[in-house]
Amino acid sequence: MKLDFEQVREILPQKYPFLLIDEVIELDPGKRIVALKNITGNEQIFVGHFPKKAIFPGAYIIEAMAQAGILLWSGGQPSDKSFLFSSVKMRFLVPVVPGNQLIIELNMVKQVSIGGIVSAVAKVGDKIVSKGELTFAAM
């Protein structure tokens, strides 16, 4: 299953300027998702992070992963649930900068009615820029 930007926007509770998924290129509900975030130089965050060398914040990478997790958990369908982080374990290996396309890959480790655990990898091209695990609750 694939989701374009308009479909993603209808499903996710986050809205501009905090909607961080541009497209879903692969979705196997409850199992795996591959999503894209295009990093552009005109994003508001780059005014202050950092003025002399734009670097996409690690917290935003985690948030993009979390938004992909919502899409994965909900099977690409709208949900009336609210989603909250329970824990995050993440490593950042390479900076992400304007012009990059962030590829977010999540695999469901465990899913229950009240949340789940996903393994997460973010790449630019074939290079891993971040990897870890997210635990979240659906209320």
Q: How far is CA 37 from CA 32, 70, 112, in A?
A: 17, 15, 27
Report which DSSP code applies to 54. -
Burial class (CB in 10 A: 0-12, 13-18, 19+), 23: middle
Question: Cβ(120)–Cβ(135) under 8 Å?
Answer: no
Q: Which residues are catalytic?
A: 49
Q: How far is CA 118 from CA 59, 76, 85, in A?
A: 17, 16, 11
